Amino acid sequence: MTKTIGLTRRALVASTAALGATTLLPRRARAAEFEYKMGHSTPATHPFHQHLLKVADRIGKESAGRMTLNVFPNSQLGGDNDLLSQVRSGAIEICQPAGLILASILPLTAINGMGFAFESYDKVWPTMDGELGKYVRGQITAKVGLVPMDRIWDLGFRQITNSIKPIKSAADLDGMKLRVPGAPALVSLFKSLGTHPVSMQFGEVYTSLQTKVVDGQENPMSIIDAGKFYEVQKYCSITNHVWDGHWITFNKAAWDRLPDDLKTVVARAFNEGAVAQRAELAKMNDTLQAELEKKGMTFNKAETQSFRDKLNKAGFYKEWREKLGEEVWTLLEKQVGKLG
């Protein structure tokens, strides 16, 4: 009898010890209710990606772990047009098409990309945060079934680089092979200016410049720096020919799956992130020319009236006014004055 009691006590102690060990094991982290993917083509070192990481972190914290946002930079999930297709199909939940890229499926989003429409950011933000931006967002939702956030992120004013000569006037572009994104308005603009535009994904640009497949390219200075184009391009001409920005857009079904409280968290994080990213990019632009000059680039400021004159003569403004429609064109001119 004593032996049996001893065995029972030892078994009880052992089982209690085992239970104690079990309770000391680390608990597995609870999986997020919503795990969304976002892809973009910008290098990971660029402020655009860095601020998206802050947005992702904020969403995770303010949702108390209910939502996770994974951000993939540098075309890891595909180029800009690929990402747009993936969001439309639901393969990923979020992408960041520039207005000029989104125009491949909704032409009126090219409205901000009309040549020399904006003189400065003093014109950009009242326009894109105001009536025009509101109209474009409504059309994105109604016509292509995507859900854009209220604040557009800054991509910047675009400049021209090449390996041949400074671009001082429109005549200097004649016959030049210039890489442009697969954006109809940009292709049209540079055809009107006398170049041979070549469309390719961003990830192919550096090698194409290096091997002289193209003579040059056009991008904001922050992208010229992040893409290290200064290694394969000698000249940068300040033209400010187009301003563009990133519309943060959700697949509609993915957006609708989120409960209202999470929608509030997500929208606030992206919209406030846009304002912070704009400020950092503006500050960065103040010093970039000097930094790129130290890296070997030669800068000049182009005389832009010759560009406008050539676009007018080629019928660029007339063609795009007809393509985009009077309503959106009028909203642009209300802020920036007459074009063409």
**Which tens digits make up the pLDDT trace of 198-213?**
999 898 999 999 999 9
Tally of domains within the chain: 1
Q: Both tokens of residue 169?
A: 């006037």
3-state class (DSSP) for residue 16 = helix
Residue 4, pLDDT > 80, answer no
Residue 340 has a pLDDT of: 78
Residue 10 has a pLDDT of: 41
Residue 225, pLDDT > 80, answer yes
Mean of the per-residue pLDDT values of the chain: 91
**Helix ranges, 145-247 (H):** 184-192, 205-210, 221-226
Residue 302, in any domain of the structure: yes
How many CA atoms are closer than 13 Å to the CA of 6, on its beta-carbon side? Answer: 3
Residue 252, pLDDT > 70, answer yes
Widest distance between CA atoms in the chain:
111
Residue 61, pLDDT > 90, answer yes
Mean pLDDT of 227-242: 97
Residue 154, pLDDT > 70, answer yes
Residue 21 has a pLDDT of: 36
Residue 44, pLDDT > 90, answer yes
Residue 292, pLDDT > 80, answer yes
Mean pLDDT of 115-127: 96
Residue 184, in any domain of the structure: yes
Q: What is the pTM of this model?
A: 0.86
Mean pLDDT of 157-163: 98
Burial class (CB in 10 A: 0-12, 13-18, 19+), 6: exposed
Residue 169, pLDDT > 70, answer yes
If one compares 124 and 15, the residue with the highest pLDDT of the two is 124
Residue span of the structural domain in which 322 resides: 34-336
Burial class (CB in 10 A: 0-12, 13-18, 19+), 13: exposed
Residue 276, in any domain of the structure: yes
Burial class (CB in 10 A: 0-12, 13-18, 19+), 166: middle
Q: Both tokens of residue 206?
A: 């550096």
Mean pLDDT of 174-182: 95
Mean pLDDT of 301-315: 96
Is the CB of residue 239 less than 8 Å from the CB of residue 119?
no
Residue 3, in any domain of the structure: no
Is the CB of residue 332 less than 8 Å from the CB of residue 339?
yes
304: domain CATH number? 3.40.190.170
Residue 14, in any domain of the structure: no
Residue 65, in any domain of the structure: yes
Question: What are the beta bridge partners of residue 156?
Answer: 244
Segment among 43-47, 93-97, 128-132 with least mean pLDDT: 43-47
**Where does residue 247 fall: left (phi above 0), alpha (psi -120 to 50 degrees), or beta otherwise?**
beta
H/E segment holding residue 329: helix 326-336
Separation of alpha carbons 152 and 270, rounded Å: 9
Residue 9 has a pLDDT of: 38
Residue 27 has a pLDDT of: 38
Residue 5 has a pLDDT of: 38
Separation of alpha carbons 30 and 233, rounded Å: 50
Four-CA torsion 184, 189, 191, 194, nearest 10 degrees: -170
Separation of alpha carbons 249 and 97, rounded Å: 8
Residue 140, pLDDT > 90, answer yes
Segment among 25-29, 49-53, 120-124, 321-325 with least mean pLDDT: 25-29
Residue 272, pLDDT > 50, answer yes
Residue 29 has a pLDDT of: 53
Residue 1, in any domain of the structure: no
If one compares 212 and 23, the residue with the highest pLDDT of the two is 212
Residue 31 pLDDT level (bands cut at 50, 70, 90): confident
Mean pLDDT of 170-189: 95
Residue 21, in any domain of the structure: no
